[in-house]
Structure 1
Amino acid sequence: MSSTSPGGDERKMRRKMPAPPVYGGLPSMSQARQVTSESGPEVARSVGGGVAVAPAFGPAAAFGPFSSQTRKHLASAQAGGAKSAVPTAAGKSGALWDIQDKDVHTLPEFHPLETTAVFVPNSFAPDVAGRVSDVLRTRSIAATFDNSKAKVSCISEDGVDFRIRLYRGKGKFSHGIIVEVQRRFGFSMSFHVDTVAILDAAEGKVGAAPVPVAIPPAYVPTSQEAAPPLPQTSLSSLKIASEMLSKTGCVDSVANGLNVLVTVTNPKKVGKSASGRACREILSGGEGSLWSSVASFLLGNNAAPVVGNNDTLRDLKTKAINIVANVSQVMEGTDDLQTAQSAVATSVVPALIGAVRNATADARTADLACRALLPLIKTYRSDPSFIQGVLIEGGVREDLVGAHAVGERSHSSLEKSTKSCLKELD
């Protein structure tokens, strides 16, 4: 007569538990707590969901044809690859998570793991760290690596601040590595998908891309029906944002005001009609307008400076660049953007070039700056005074080449956006 150990049936049921029906869907509490209680070949994890890492089919495609001047800069950047590496402090690396097994400490006695954690058995720290850093680059998640603590400080494309830590298992779990993801600040619907992708990569899983969520088509009135009026929500939001930005003595008010502008200028969040009205209103203002307020955060010349530490001020500047990127993309080729060329050239472009130049330290902001520059280049390409006088003489080509090298190492979206800008300049 065979006997089963206590809890054996429960473990079998856990292993047979089906995955969520929709890729990237939120797991149930029972799935989130599904962690094996014994050592073995199984992987213990606490997040459900599908695989979010796209398979690698080989090296990236060739960079493509460029002008002789751009090719010269690219060759120079490749030859000086070692010199252009991200500067590192003691025990830190800004490009790759280069750690050894000795850098990973045992899980502290009284450290409760987040539900977003995974145990990878029979693994080595360098292998796990390499897979995690690869998926961070693929998903364009800006990362700062602390090798001495086996930790990564991350910011997603949507601005969610989170940490990744590696620990060595204790006792009978000492044969594996624990990977933990901790959200610190911010919210995004895509953060769960990012988390699942990171944990899947830590386990070495490679699979299909996410299943897109079906979006119902927009309502189109028939000829017998009156067309609905253009939305006014975005314009009322601009008034609220303007009031918030005027309170420069309160950093929270300013940050919230910029967040409002980031949202109402994004067509993916409020629709093309509402974002178009908001962007047009922002561009049409003169001195003291929202455009002037946003530009002041880019250049750091506020009449009443915002009080805050360097990280806070840097975050405000990133939000301002995000707004400029949204406005330039929505208004690309329009008369409104053509009319604003002088203001754009003097108050915006220098800050964008500076952000691209600083790609080594802040790849996410550099990527936003490139997304803002691309529509401006396309809109003003017929004006040699802008292309040659403002951009080329401002050193933008060299800065884009340097940022492209950073993107190749650690930020996929930055690699693509710099490539697009360089092609337009040629």
Structure 2
Amino acid sequence: MKTFFYISFLFILIISQIACKKKDLNEAPSLNINFPVENFTVQSVDTFEVKAVATDDNADNLRLTIYVADINLQAVSSAAVYNFSGNSANLDVLYELNERWLSSGVYYLVVTASDGELLTRKFVKLYVSSISKKLSGYVVGIKSGQNCEVYMGDTNFVFTKKLTISASLDGVFDSYNNYINVLTEDGKLVAYNYPFLNEVYSLQGLKKVGSPFKGDVAWKYPYIYVTNANGSIMAVDNNGQPRNSFRTLFSPYLLVYWQNKWVCLSDLYPQNYSWIEVPQNSKNYQNNFKMNDLVCLDNERCLAIQQDGNFVKFYTYKPEINYLNSFGHTQNGYYNGSLNINGQVLLSIDDEMYEMNPIYGTLTSVYQGNYLSLLKYESTHQLIYGVNNNIFVALKENPIQMINSFSFNGNIVFYDFIYE
């Protein structure tokens, strides 16, 4: 009887060891994407074929998932999930990409295969072409004492006051969710739905204790990106939940989206100088002076701008080598703003607008008549917009001329475009 017990125990032990060994030897599924091929082109609203094969000798079931991601491999589309019985999966499906607010550019089709424990991820590069959108109006934030008044307007520049909110630093319109997203002076990101203008969420804690709050907010589908003075750039979803975060060394206060990554100006209160940071590349460069602005110059460089007394100075920053160089010539006057229109860099200094030569940094006057800050370009109508204190201005190109304006009762804090 005792011998039988020992034999049974030994048998169970051997079986357990074999099972553990099998578990220890479990490997992730092998996965190959057969279609689409590298550099395949689709539209932001499109249906295309996806073919992939996955195998896993130790699996009883396999799960394959498909989605589209940006260059940082952050998902920008809904995932499609397919379950297979057995140790192999032959996927041949039509994937529906229905993300009309995706901007044109490079993305990735991502396919994952999971056996329930381990996961394999493969991807191929896609070029997504955006579909046309229609400009339907504007949202404008006006400083009013300790508050901010929000106006909505149509393309004929007819504006109506819609909402009074806390004093604000900046605001953007999220055309995908129809949200007005406002960054308040007390360090909150607040979203209001449109056209009902009810508060959807309030994300707090963006202000650093003991420091004056400066910040920036931008919409890059599908998330709102906002600076956190405690040292990060946060990607926030439509429920106000942070979905991703890029750590910065110091307090970021200005965002520029350049070459599919965020470049920012940051500082450390009370020191009176700036850093240029590229957190996704772990790059940072310390200046010994305060920077006023940062704008894309070309595929390799950003243009950094400094107001030094009565003069405007220019520098180029190249993230690859993480270095700042003087550029062009010092310009007499006061800097208002700048923008890049498909490689054409425009700068507003005093009441003139200049075009900068991207090779030599020389300036050529292309418009005179208004001090224009908060410059933006609207591509569907090919118009330049700007702000002169309380006046909202629209200008046409080639040659640049004012075609419309509207005067508010207070200074303009922010504005953005509404699309449908």
- TM-score range, shorter-chain basis? under 0.3
Larger Rg: 2
Query: Which structure is higher in helix share?
Result: 1
State the TM-score, normalized to the length of structure 1: 0.27
Query: Which structure is higher in strand share?
Result: 2
Instruction: Compare relative contact order (CA 8 Å, sep 6+) and give the higher one, 1 or 2.
Output: 1
